[in-house]
Amino acid sequence: MPLVQLIVLAIVQGITEFLPISSSAHLILAPMLAPGWSDQGPLIDVASHVGTLIAVLLYFRSESAMLVRGGVDVLGFRDTPERCLFLQLAAASAPVIIIGGAVAASGAIDYLRDPTVIGAASIVFAVFLWRADRAATSKEGLDRIGWREALLIGGAQALAIIPGASRSGVTITAARYLGWSRPEAARFSMLLAIPTILALGGFAGIELIRDGMREDVLAAAIVCVLSCAVAFVAIAVIMRWTQRLDFTPFVVYRVLMGLAVIAAAGQLAGQG
């Protein structure tokens, strides 16, 4: 695989995983826009997800430590706020893992990768994000997120199996509809990415082991390091952004991208 393709894939994954613009859509569209690029394969998928996972763990060091303590408290049957957060994130991750696995097993995921579907999803879910972001909200603090809210946000995350919907986008949208401030909505969305990315990486890892790991480990290392660095910067940008600005620029970008993808759907499908 050409070095430039590895760099582009790592940058795209690092930027789009945590911004509300859909990483899956961009990763699907990138090879379509660059004729001659081959599918990156499961090892590169695992490497890019590991990189973004490391980035979110590093950026949210204190929250990550809370989750570790929460896991220990679960094993020790101790009732603590950390245990509650750990269980909430685990339960909220279940819908996307279960539904995503069922869709992948059925083969329906191939139909969702159609450029028209991607473009339409980008526009529709951008509108939902815009509407949710209009509400005046003030809720703060992860310790105030209840089970109902965690499960509703987790249910919304299941919509992210549709390329173009955006995992971070739908979870932020749900959190905003539930009354959470922009920073807290983004924070919970990114923490919710931890179990989700672990699950996705696990599925890709199983496929990798099944195929005998015939891919270039050096290429995977490059993608992992670069996607981690880019994702860390992207997280810092979005967290600072939410302190002062709304999500309108992301909404506009998604609508314009969706319209462009729909307009070029026939050409893109022929190149995919």
By percentage, how much of the chain surpasses pLDDT 90? 53
* Domain limits for position 146: 3-271
As a whole number of angstroms, the distance between CA 84 and CA 90 comes to: 10
Count how many domains the chain has: 1
As a whole number of angstroms, the distance between CA 116 and CA 129 comes to: 20
pLDDT digits (tens, 9 = 90+) for 59-77: 999 999 999 999 999 999 9
pTM beyond 0.75, yes or no: yes
230 CB contacts (<8 Å, ≥6 apart)? Answer: 10, 11, 13, 14, 15
Bridge partners of 139? 180
Give the confidence band of 100 by pLDDT, cuts at 50, 70, 90.
Answer: confident
The count of other CB atoms within 10 Å of the CB of residue 205 is 17
pLDDT digits (tens, 9 = 90+) for 191-232: 999 998 888 777 766 766 666 655 577 888 899 999 999 999
